[in-house]
Amino acid sequence: MIHDSRIQPLRPGTPGQGRFVLLWVQASVRTRDNHALEYALRRANELGLPVVAVFGLTPDYPEANARHFQYLLEGLRDLRANLVARGIPLSIRLGKPPEMALEAAREGAALVVTDVGYLNIQRAWRDWLKAQLEVPFVQVESEAVIPIYTVSGKLEYAARTIRPKVQRLWHDYLVPLEEHELVAQTDDWEAGLEVGDPAALVKTLPVDQSVVPGTETGGEDAALERVEEFISIDLARYDGRRNDPNVEGSSRLSAYLHYGHLSPLTAALVAREHGGPGADTFIEELIVRRELSFNLCTFNPQYDQYDGLPGWARKTLEEHAGDRREYLYTREQFDGAQTHDPYWNAAQNQMVRTGRMHNYMRMYWGKKILEWTPDPRTAYAEMVWLNNRYEQDGRDPNSYAGLGWVLGLHDRPWTRRPIFGMVRYMNAGGLKRKFDADAYAAQWL
């Protein structure tokens, strides 16, 4: 079942005389638990039309490099195979996504259906296409477990303010999505880019090649395998082990979620069915934390800027901008993991080499950047640059919520200290109390 609250006509109207229903894929690059796909199938069956899909691949996507493109292409390879298995051809076209969607729609769409991403650029793409199209255009929410406006109509201050709103609703939305079988099919659809060998293809694209692909493989198939592995092996130990960077006890699903290779609904349903220790904590992270990040990107247009941080945090940080810093590092020194701190360098190396820094180390890593840059505005810029360049899950709503948290977002004032003002402080002693920080540093020398 698709809740009505997931469905939003951007350009209302009755479908025209087209040859197909067009699914414009942007955020949900998968076939399992994809509400936009199932909605397109339902409408196509009502109209007696086939569904065709289009994806616009833009080499100049902000901050994206070879690491990100290879993962994206691995997702498109799986998407094409999994869509074809359901009778839907996918056209992958090099160009600006909304322009590619418009071009595809003009080839005979009766109706255009799309999914929902929360970044400003994704919203701008949908707005642009809405203004150009002459046929009905519908967006269907599938990245949030509960549609963002259903949870809250305003900017939320913290996990504690959004949690009760989410928990009140999640049982209504944690429901399996029924798959529709397509009645009419077509193969009259230009395939576009061949993506069978993502590693080879990425080398030919005009993209920043200076960051090599990470160690994890992208795509819906790998995502579903990882869900199964996590739920059957790690979930029961999640509570005790997820904060220990030496054992990697967290789900490692964030990049699959970021690229839309995995629906949070799939992961939450499997975890709930499995139950036991860990399930509640995992579902809390997966739903409450992500919904909070999406809420930020929906209601704060400056979510990716220093000026978008809460006023109290900027005020207290700026009051302490002139405080003496014992260490100051340049971007090049951060980038090369050349600080005096072995724990920080280890975290940076882990991120650069693999594409994933452990959650617990992300907090420490960010707090130290604040301490070792001349002022909080510079700290914010350096964090965003490094995070989005190397993290496989970077450039996500969670990135901006996480990086903002380092500087007070979604947190409360604490005791005043130099440099941090009333923003929460963290030091290496805290790491050592939680886990064997020296073993971690040795691992990522």
Least distance to ligand FAD, CB of residue 266, Å: 12
Closer of 65 and 293 to ligand FAD (Cβ): 293
152-179 burial, b at 16+ Cβ within 10 Å, e below that, comes to beeebeebeebbebbeebbeebbeebee
Residue 310 per-residue DSSP state: -
Question: What DSSP letter does each residue of 84-138 carry, written as one string?
Answer: HTTT--EEEEES-HHHHHHHHHTTTEEEEEE----SHHHHHHHHHHHHH-SS-EE
Cα distance between residue 299 and residue 155, in whole Å: 5
Helices (H) and strands (E) in the chain, counts: 21, 6
Give the footprint of ligand FAD on this chain (CB under 6 A): 242, 250-254, 257-258, 285-286, 289-290, 293, 359, 362-363, 366, 387, 391, 393-394, 396, 398-399, 401-403, 405-406
Beta bridge partners of 90: 53
Residue 435 CA to residue 347 CA, distance in Å, equals: 14
Q: How far is CA 100 from CA 105, 192, 396, in A?
A: 9, 11, 23
Residue nearest ligand FAD (C-beta atom): 402
- CA angle centred on 105, ends 101 and 106, rounded to 5°: 120
Tokens of 424: 């929460």
Closer to ligand FAD by CB, 50 or 408: give it. Answer: 408
For residue 23, the surrounding DSSP H or E stretch is strand 20-24
Taking the least distance from each CB to ligand FAD, the nearer of 189 and 364 is 364
- Shortest CB 242 distance to ligand FAD, Å: 5
Instruction: Report the nearest approach of ligand FAD to the CB of residue 259 (Å).
Output: 11
Question: What is the token pair recorded at 185?
Answer: 């099919």
Q: Which is nearer to ligand FAD, 49 or 286 (CB)?
A: 286
Compute the least distance from the CB of residue 254 to ligand FAD, in Å.
3
Residues 179, 185, 191, 195, CA torsion sign: positive
CB of 67 to ligand FAD, least distance (A): 13
Kindly state the smallest distance separating residue 389's Cβ from ligand FAD, in Å.
Answer: 11
Nearest distance, CB of residue 119 and ligand FAD, angstroms: 12
Q: How far is the CB of 252 from ligand FAD (least distance, A)?
A: 4
Strand partners, 21: 51, 111
Q: 31 or 254: whose CB is closer to ligand FAD?
A: 254
How many angstroms separate the Cα of 220 from the Cα of each of 28, 261, 355?
A: 10, 5, 18
430: part of which helix (H) or strand (E)? helix 428-434
111 or 313: CB nearest ligand FAD: 313
Residue holding tokens 């305003």? 154
In Å, what is the CA distance from 41 to each residue of 38, 88, 182, 328, 378? 5, 10, 6, 56, 48
The strand pair at 7-11 and 51-57 is best described as: unpaired
Minimum distance between the CB of residue 190 and ligand FAD, rounded to whole angstroms?
A: 34
Tell me whether residue 156 or residue 396 sits nearer to ligand FAD (CB atom): 396
For residue 137, the minimal CB distance to ligand FAD (Å) is: 28
Task: Specify the residue, 10 or 381, whose C-beta has the smaller distance to ligand FAD.
Answer: 381
Distance CA 440, CA 247 (A): 10
Q: Which is nearer to ligand FAD, 39 or 343 (CB)?
A: 343
Residue whose CB is less far from ligand FAD, 77 or 252 = 252
User: Parallel, antiparallel, or unpaired: how do β-strands 7-11 and 137-140 relate?
Assistant: antiparallel
Rounded to a whole number of angstroms, the minimum distance from the CB of residue 393 to ligand FAD is 4
* 111 versus 296: smaller Cβ distance to ligand FAD: 296
Closer to ligand FAD by CB, 125 or 365: give it: 365
| Residue 222 C-beta: closest distance to ligand FAD, Å | 14
Identify the helix (H) or strand (E) that includes residue 22: strand 20-24
